[in-house]
Structure 1
Amino acid sequence: MQAVKRMKIAKIIGTHSGSFHSDEALAIYMLKQLDDYTDAEIKRTRDAKVLDGCDIIVDVGGVYDHESKKYDHHQRGFTETFSADFETKLSSAGLIYKHYGKQVIKTLLQKEQKPEIADPEIDLIYNKVYSSLIEGFDGVDNGVSLYPSSIEVEPRYSIHHSTVHHMVSRLNPSWNDTPSETSTENLENFKKAMELVGGVFKQEVEYYGRSWLPAREMVKNAYENRFKYHSSGEIMVLDTGFCPWGEHLYDIESLSGSDKQVIYILFKDSLASTPSYRVRAVGKSSSSFESRKALPEAWRGVRDEELSNLSGIPGCIFVHATGFIGGNATLEGALEMARKSLEM
């Protein structure tokens, strides 16, 4: 007998009708990246009987229960956060990300690159994407102020109309439109909102997987090898070329347990017309313009041969007027600039 091929029954994702928001649009976009929900039908309703027939419910229903796949955050007493490190209460985007985010990240990155990223690295990306993107969705939907209430700040300009949350809001019917809440047009606009927020999310995941994560490995290797260049360990060389090092260095330093900080980072300037190297003074923090130790004041704003004569180091190109960066034609020259700067 010929085997009968079973038809796969599409699952149903339930969410609320009426005005939609960026958090449930992103939540459902994430779910639809997964094999279980790729072909899922979306039902937008507040009818409890219809919701009971859904396989998973997002942002409606007054219940948060992972086992029964119910993910609402509006009910009294809901206080769930992403982890103990965060205070922002989760929205439906945060809830779905908390439970399914690692699977979604793996799915998106496996489409883009090989070999497969290891689980510890997925954990790194998972945490970074939450803090860099998803927490903002949670904060906006829950009405969490961006600034502490004790600080009164009047912004110089508005970015409200350029935020993804506002763009999603504009896809809802206008106050003077009269479409039915269940109309095809409104569901299609909700799908546009999913694609809009999904594109932002996908771009963020791909950045952390394809750019941020490889840079971390380069910085880690450079940090471990820093004593090759100076016995103090205060000079670090990115010998494979420039990469975004700042955020990684502070994190790696804090995890190392060493009280010896990196003062200068050296790297090849890949944008220069002729090969040259940069000496970068590390900032006191990732958000600070103040260096741990700027290049010597006497060198600042001086260039080329005049700087070489002044410093006694051949091949000098410049030192910025603030002393946060300088340049030399060779790696050895850049190293000598960093070494002398430590001593001055």
Structure 2
Amino acid sequence: MTDITIVTHDGNFHADDVFSVAALKLIFPSFNLIRTRDAKVISQADIVIDVGNEYDPDKGRFDHHQRGGAGARENGIPFSSFGLIWQKYGLELCEGNKTVADSVDAGLVSTIDAIDCGYVQGVEQGISLSQTISMFNPTWQESSDFDSCFNEAVEFAVRLLKRFIASANGSADAKKIVAKAIADADDPRVIVLEQYTPWKKTVHSLSSEALYMVYPSHSGKWIIQTVPVEPGSFEDRKPLPQPWAGLSGDEFQAVTGLDDATFCHNGLFIAGAESFASVMVMASIALQS
């Protein structure tokens, strides 16, 4: 099969959808990749990753954002889309060796899943960037051309270094923008950004009162996101209301009373609406919950 269509969501990407596509590139000689949230396009795809609110491996559906998620491992780590893809294709990618497939799941896949699902117990151990660089060395089964492997690692490191520098520059500019938003807030518990800007470090250093951040998404819709108790924590200062968990579309609109409410994540840390006015109403409801 060389003409299949694979769909994942557009906008910001994360390790679970990136690694899912990477895995499928090793399975299928070629495919048409579409990044969208268009329901019609999703319904016609052969494989759907990290969008669509459906998990059915026989139908090629690999999402975990639906209410209740898509299951978890015996150790409690929930499956993200990468884990769901690995369940179906991991053994094939490891040439039928279950020991190897389980090892990759334990060392890489489950860590990515844990991070994506906010499961803090699952991210205490996992591969580091240093280990990643070390893995460019040839294994004992490969020809020991260390010089060429070193050059590959350098190319990889150059790309990362450039991104670290760009990220540092962006962080410096973001700090100014977020500091001004905190100072200008009508309610210190709800901070509004005119465009998405990295905010967590600045909010934690400048505001002990902020509970929610409000900002537009890349598509022009509006988002409300909780402020964690500290940077890197999966615990929020004040989660969104429990009845919202995992709802979307009509169900979410019925619960909130807002006809343009779009979704709320299972983890109660992010929700959205079409309009700024509606997402501010969400903030008001959340503050009173």
Which bin holds the TM-score, normalised by the shorter protein? 0.3 to 0.5
Structure number with greater Rg is 1
| TM-score after normalising by structure 1 | 0.40
| TM-score after normalising by structure 2 | 0.46
